[in-house]
A and B are shown apart, each in its own frame.
Chain A
């Protein structure tokens, strides 16, 4: 198969004003948001006023004073990471949050070098570069929707790069969709506006990304 999806990582990023030390595994289990066993077995790298960083068996969490991130590479936990992010800030309702990003990172193992080369050649015709560079190759392509289709304040961005993770073939491609939503006019970010948007756009973000990736592959095959 030419476009074998091998890894799908989903990451939710929130920008705001956080207190990293609160969001520990034991706080999460104390609030009933994860299982006690999961909190006990969490691999804690650091819990500190500046940074909290640990790994559950199904997600990684990193919180700094300005940034919250949760991510997983296990599809059955896509909804649970969304539930967890929403629930954390339903409890910490006073937390100011101004922007969110849903990152879809899809890693494809391409079966042969020709398809891999064509991928770059299709989207950034390499003939245009042959008089400038010797044997040009596409390394990174980023296309941005400056004004979102749904009218929300934010951007939708797609970036294509070689995969930085080793896959089952030497021809790995990463298609990264970054779905960003910020505060709307008149919002201050102190009334869970962004968390409500996360719940609202979740489904459409999944659908839109899958359609976009499908469309990209159709153009190649």
Chain B
């Protein structure tokens, strides 16, 4: 008797013949695996071969150099922001409709200036970060989005890992350690 072959088998595994229909769930798993496999292969083509860990810098020169995103995507090609003047700001005072901040130029930190900002300049998701002492970045520059050049100001509050109790303990320990080493004349 000739082997039976299902349509699904023919599509997914043309070289395999079976007399049992493949359960639907297995077909789905195969399709998903195939898709991931193909995508991985595609990405791996863009990556240089990964090398053995614990090597010298020279072994990784190729890895560390140009970004491995190969050719920029169409989207990226049209999303640039250059010629900026950038400041790092520290919130000094919060008022009823805005806040005052100390601004330090990131390209020249020898001086600072004070700036006043309205709350509506802050992105809604950054509002919870707006507290006295909070850090934010403020930039003025030339944005190119889809070929359209615009002069833009951009404010973004700094997001860093929140401090844990362990961090405080570690810092207290280090401070105590340094204090013990202090020699009073």
Max chain A Cβ within 10 angstroms of own Cβ: one of B54, B69, B126, B139: B69
Give complex CA distance A96, B54 in Å.
Answer: 10
Stretch of B23-31, B75-83, B111-119 that contacts chain A: B75-83
- The answer to whether residues A155 and B57 also contact, given A46-B40, A66-B51, A73-B81 and a CB cut-off of 8 A, is yes
Give complex CA distance A51, B144 in Å.
Answer: 30
B60 lies within 8 A of A15 (CB): yes
Contact among B36, B82, B144, B161 with A33 in the assembled complex (CB-CB below 8 Å)? B161
Give chain B's interface secondary structure class: mixed
- The answer to whether residues A64 and B161 also contact, given A15-B64, A76-B84, A178-B64 and a CB cut-off of 8 A, is no
Contact with B along A94-120 (1 / 0, CB 8 A): 001011110101000000000000000
B123 to chain A, nearest CB (A): 7
- Range, interface on chain B: 35 or more
For the complex, count residues of A whose C-beta is within 8 A of B. Answer: 66
A180 lies within 8 A of B63 (CB): no
A-B contact count (CB 8 A): 155
B99: Cβ under 8 A from any A Cβ: no
List which B29-54 residues lie within 8 A (CB) of chain A.
36, 39-40, 43-44, 47, 50-51, 53-54
Contact among B57, B68, B80, B156 with A80 in the assembled complex (CB-CB below 8 Å)? B156
Give complex CA distance A161, B57 in Å.
Answer: 23
B101 to chain A, nearest CB (A): 15
Contact among B72, B141, B159 with A83 in the assembled complex (CB-CB below 8 Å)? B159
A110 to chain B, nearest CB (A): 16
A90 lies within 8 A of B161 (CB): yes
Please name all residues of chain A whose beta carbon is closer than 8 Å to the beta carbon of B40 when the two chains form the complex: 46, 48, 50-51
CB closest chain-A residue, reference B140:
A76
B103: Cβ under 8 A from any A Cβ: no
A164: Cβ under 8 A from any B Cβ: yes
Please name all residues of chain B whose beta carbon is closer than 8 Å to the beta carbon of A76 when the two chains form the complex: 81, 84, 86, 137, 139, 141, 154, 156
Please name all residues of chain B whose beta carbon is closer than 8 Å to the beta carbon of A164 when the two chains form the complex: 71
Q: List 6 A-B contacts (CB under 8 A).
A: A9-B67, A66-B50, A75-B139, A75-B141, A76-B84, A176-B65
Residues of chain A having any CB pair with chain B under 8 Å: 5-9, 11, 13, 15-17, 31-37, 45-46, 48, 50-51, 53, 55, 60, 62, 64-67, 69, 71, 73-80, 83-84, 86-87, 90-91, 96, 98-101, 103, 105, 153-155, 157, 159, 164-166, 176, 178, 180, 182, 210
Q: A15-B63, A165-B77, A180-B57 are in contact. List 17 more A-B contacts (CB 8 A).
A: A8-B80, A13-B64, A51-B40, A55-B73, A64-B47, A66-B53, A74-B79, A75-B83, A78-B86, A84-B159, A87-B160, A101-B64, A103-B67, A178-B64, A180-B64, A182-B56, A210-B107
Residues of chain B having any CB pair with chain A under 8 Å: 36, 39-40, 43-44, 47, 50-51, 53-57, 60-61, 63-69, 71-73, 75-77, 79-84, 86, 88, 106-107, 123, 125-126, 137, 139, 141, 143-144, 154, 156, 158-162
